[in-house]
Amino acid sequence: MKPWSQLRLGRRSPANVVPDLPLTGDGAGARLQLRAPLPVPPSPPRPRQRLLQPLPVAAGLLILVAVAGYLAVYNQTTKRTEVLVAARELPAGTVLHAGDLRSAGLAGDRQVLASVVPAQQLSGVLGMRLASPVAAGLPLPRTALATRALVPAAFTVAVPFLHALGGGLRPGDRVTVLATFEAASGGAQTRAISRNLEVLAVGAPPSGLEQASATVSVTLQLPDPSVASELALASEAGKIDLLREGTRAGAPIPPARVGG
C-alpha cells in the first residue's frame, strides 16, 4: 500500500478542499476540512429607497425653500406701484395743484410704499399745503403733507407774452403787477398795483412767430380780494407787466410818469 501522504483524490474542488495535511505521529489520517462560505456582499439600495432616507428628503426641502424665497424676492423687486412724484421743486408751504405732481412706478417693500402717497390718491392731496419741501423727481411722502389749505382768492389776467418774463414764468413764482395807464393829455403813468403775488397757473403760449404779439393767461393768488378791482381796471384800460422780484424783494417801487 501507498502511504497516506502519497494518496491523491481524483476529484476535489480547490475552493472547498484544504491541501494535503501530513500524518500525525500515531498514524492517524488527517481529516478533510471544508472552508467557510464566503460572505455575500449586500446588494445596493434601490433608488426609490434612497429617496426615502432622511438626508435626501432634507436636501430636497432645502432646495424647495430656496426656490420659493428666490421667487418671492424676485416678485417683490420687479413689482412696481404707481406713486405720486414731484414734477418740479416744491418748497415748503406750496399748495399742491395737478401740475405739481405726476405718477411714477416705485419698487420697494411694504413699509417704503406705505410712507409715500399712491397715484390713485391724487384728488385727495390737491389743495393741501406742504409742511416740508420735496425735490423734483422724488416721491411725495405722507409726512410732507400739512392740513388742507383754505381755497385762496385768485384772479386771472391776460398779459402779453413778452411782458410775462418771455415764457420764463412758472407756477410758484411770486410777482409784482405793474399797470400802465395812458392819460387824456397824452402822457402815461406806471405804478405797482400789488406785490408778492403767487403765480398759480400759466397758460401755454403759442409757438413760432406769433409769440411776439400773443398774450398768455396768468392766474394769481390774491391775499386780499379787494385787489381784484384794480387788476380788472388795469386789464381793461391799461397794460400789465409782471415783475419777478429777486433777492431785493420788498424794495420800494415808486410810480413813473411821462408827459401830461
Q: What is the pLDDT along the chain (260 residues), one digit of tens a residue?
A: 545 444 444 444 454 444 554 544 454 555 555 566 667 666 665 555 554 556 555 666 677 677 666 556 555 555 778 889 999 998 888 888 888 999 888 877 788 888 889 988 888 888 888 888 899 989 899 888 876 656 678 899 988 888 888 878 888 888 999 999 888 777 888 999 989 899 988 888 777 666 677 888 999 998 888 889 989 998 888 889 999 877 766 778 888 888 76
User: Which amino acid, residue 252?
Assistant: P
Which one-letter DSSP state was computed for residue 172?
T
Pair (70, 104) in one structural domain: no
> Are 141 and 115 within 8 A, CB to CB?
yes
- Whether 37 is in a domain gets the answer no
7 located within any domain: no
Residue 166 belongs to some domain of the structure: yes
Same domain, 166 and 124: no
Answer yes or no: do 167 and 224 share one domain.
yes
Compute the distance between CA of residue 147 and CA of residue 93 in angstroms, rounded to an integer: 11
CA atoms within 13 A on the CB side of 58: 3
In the DSSP assignment, the letter for residue 87 is S
Q: Is residue 131 part of a domain?
A: yes
Task: Indicate whether 183 and 232 sit together in one domain.
Answer: yes
Burial (CB count within 10 angstroms: exposed 0-12, middle 13-18, buried 19+), residue 37: exposed
8 Å CB contact between 174 and 244:
yes
Q: Which residue among 148, 182, 203 closes a domain?
A: 148
Does pTM top 0.85 for this prediction?
no
> Please, what's the b/e burial string for 100-138 (b: 16 or more CB within 10 A of its CB; e: otherwise)?
bbeebebebeeeeeeebbbbeebeebeebbbeeebeeee
Note down the domain range covering 107. Answer: 81-148
Q: State whether 168 and 231 are in the same domain.
A: yes
**19 falls within a domain:** no
User: Based on the domain organization, do 179 and 229 belong to the same domain?
Assistant: yes
Q: Is residue 197 part of a domain?
A: yes
| 240 and 168 in a common domain | yes
* DSSP strand pairing (239-244 vs 128-130): unpaired
Question: Which CATH number belongs to the domain containing residue 134 in this structure?
Answer: 3.90.1210.10
- Is residue 106 domain-resident? yes
Number of domains in the chain: 3
Within this chain, do residues 213 and 136 fall inside the same structural domain, yes or no? no
CA-CA distance, 82 to 132, in Å (whole number)?
A: 22
